[in-house]
Amino acid sequence: MISHRSRKALPKRAALLAAAGLLGGLLAVPAVTATAGTPQACAAADADIYRPPDRATAAPGAVVACRQVGSLPMVIGGPPLNAWKVQYGSTDGRGRPVSVAGTVVVPQKPWTGPGERPLVAFVPGTLGIGPKCGFSKQLAGQYQDAYEGPNVAALLNAGYAVAATDGQGYMDGQVHPYASGAEAGRATLDMARAASRVPGAGVGPSARVGIWGYSEGGSGSLWAAQLARSYAPELKVVGSASGGIPADLEQVAGNLDGKFFAGFLVDAFIGLSVTHPELPFDEILDDSGRKAVKDAESLCALGTVSRFPGARIEQYTKDGLTLDQIYALHGSDGTTWGDAVGASKLGVGVGAPGSGARYEIGFPVFQYRGLLDEVIPARTASEARRAYCAAGISTRWTTYAGDHLTSDPHAISDVVDWLGDRFDGKADTGNC
């Protein structure tokens, strides 16, 4: 089992994993050196997209490596397209440079609407936390556990370009920081930045940008909305659609513990241990907990759900710690697990432009959920909506007659139409 201290830096963690034989011969291949520029051509080997640099230095949104791919088998029902896998620069939740992988997809049919072809920054839902689970690999058919190819196809059929981030932590030897809002938001915005820097993609730097995500992607897309004005002010974001949003991780955790989708809770604790290495983690696990971590880091979404149905978090700790007891544990810097969980809460510190709020949002947001959602409590979704409405942010709210999994496809046409209205410059005052 990897020591708790190895989580302080992903490159060090990767080295320890490799030494344990979990990465095979990956580190025998020379690492890519990140530079803050744009490649002259997208001819990198596929392995180069996922090999993290020895020391990440690329500016946010700078293309480190790219590779044009012939097809995306998981984008079923889409038009003829051109696609590129991309490694690009971003920053983690503490402002340190990191590299992230993603996919840029553009319809082959020329854009005939006004201005430049619009771009949608797409944030995938839960896929699992191991490197093989990355959305770019799944879209390309390298590992098939993805379920949002139809979402991407619908955007392409509407004529829009798509910049789909994998999210941080899907490079070789890394672990995805599942449930960490700031990382997800920055990776999303930097993916939008990178799209215009991919040679031959034809995405303009002044393109209107929409953001969309569901479930984990719903959190990432709403975090991107909150961070856009301060982190990527040059992007012309016109709207953000977010569904099935785990807006309050503490409430969601309480709903998952001991339930069918408990694997998502296991992934969340692992993800937060990556972003908060000062917190006690490995040292509070028992043998079954260490085995659970090892399994979770090797599984994608369906495997995770199948591995942990009905699991309770206390069965993996030495002292049978409950969620509340874990939240009270302090790290070396005084931070508690409760602090880490609370840091990703959405709707806190939001406001309209000129309000002086920490997160000023100057465009409409679309929030939605399934009425039968068994993963995200209704209270969580309602509180996020009320917080945005109270802050004076134009917020549209919609519900669908489905559970957590089925409400995502139910919303596709509504979201694409709503984004289309934003691209056309139509106002949306919301329905608060």
pLDDT for 144 equals 72
Contact 50, 170 (CB under 8 A): yes
CATH of domain 250-342: 1.10.260.130
Three-class secondary structure of residue 318 per DSSP: coil
Give me the helices (H) in 349-411, please: 378-390, 407-410
CA–CA gap between residue 204 and residue 5 (Å, rounded): 43
Structural domain boundaries in the chain: 44-248+356-423, 250-342
Report the percent of the chain where pLDDT is more than 70.
91
Contact 192, 284 (CB under 8 A): no
Cα 336–269–21 angle (5° rounding)?
120
CA–CA gap between residue 421 and residue 176 (Å, rounded): 34
- Give 143's pLDDT tier (boundaries 50, 70, 90): confident
Contacts of 339 (CB under 8 A, 6+ apart): none
Please indicate whether residue 138 or residue 38 has the higher confidence score (pLDDT): 138
pLDDT for 17 equals 31
CA–CA gap between residue 385 and residue 382 (Å, rounded): 5
- Give 390's pLDDT tier (boundaries 50, 70, 90): very high
Buried b (16+ CB within 10 A) or exposed e, 310-334: ebbbbebbeeebebeebbeeebeee
- In this structure, the number of other CB atoms found within 10 A of the CB of residue 277 comes to 18
Q: For every residue of 174-212, which 3-state class applies, written as one string?
A: CCCCCCCHHHHHHHHHHHHHHHCCCCCCCCCCCCEEEEE
CA–CA gap between residue 272 and residue 128 (Å, rounded): 14
Return the minimum-mean-pLDDT range out of 27-36, 63-72, 106-115, 182-191: 27-36
CB neighbour class for 389 (10 Å; exposed up to 12, middle 13-18, buried from 19): middle
pLDDT for 94 equals 86
Contact 280, 331 (CB under 8 A): yes
- Give 5's pLDDT tier (boundaries 50, 70, 90): very low
Section 263-280 average pLDDT: 96
Using only C-alpha atoms, what is the Rg of the chain? 20
Q: Which stretch of DSSP H or E encloses residue 19? A: helix 10-19
- Give 130's pLDDT tier (boundaries 50, 70, 90): confident
Section 75-103 average pLDDT: 95
Section 129-137 average pLDDT: 93
Mean pLDDT, the chain, integer:
90
Contacts of 159 (CB under 8 A, 6+ apart): 107, 109, 111, 112, 113, 117, 118
pLDDT for 145 equals 78
pLDDT for 40 equals 64
Buried b (16+ CB within 10 A) or exposed e, 6-41: bbeebbebbebbbeeeebeebbeeeebebbeeebee
Section 249-253 average pLDDT: 97
Per-residue pLDDT reduced to its tens digit, 310-355: 999 999 999 999 999 999 999 999 999 999 999 999 999 999 999 9
CA–CA gap between residue 267 and residue 179 (Å, rounded): 8
Per-residue pLDDT reduced to its tens digit, 36-78: 455 667 999 999 999 999 998 999 999 999 999 988 999 989 9
Three-class secondary structure of residue 140 per DSSP: coil
pLDDT of 103 over the 80 cut:
yes
Strand 350-351 to strand 359-360: parallel, antiparallel, or no bridges (unpaired)? parallel
CA–CA gap between residue 432 and residue 193 (Å, rounded): 31
pLDDT for 191 equals 98
pLDDT for 283 equals 95
Contact 269, 308 (CB under 8 A): no
pLDDT for 105 equals 98
Contacts of 19 (CB under 8 A, 6+ apart): none
Per-residue pLDDT reduced to its tens digit, 193-232: 999 999 999 999 999 999 999 999 999 999 999 999 999 9
pLDDT of 369 over the 50 cut:
yes
- Give 22's pLDDT tier (boundaries 50, 70, 90): very low
pLDDT of 2 over the 60 cut:
no
CATH architecture of 44-248+356-423: 3-Layer(aba) Sandwich (3.40)
Return the minimum-mean-pLDDT range out of 4-13, 69-78, 229-238, 408-417: 4-13
Contact 34, 89 (CB under 8 A): yes
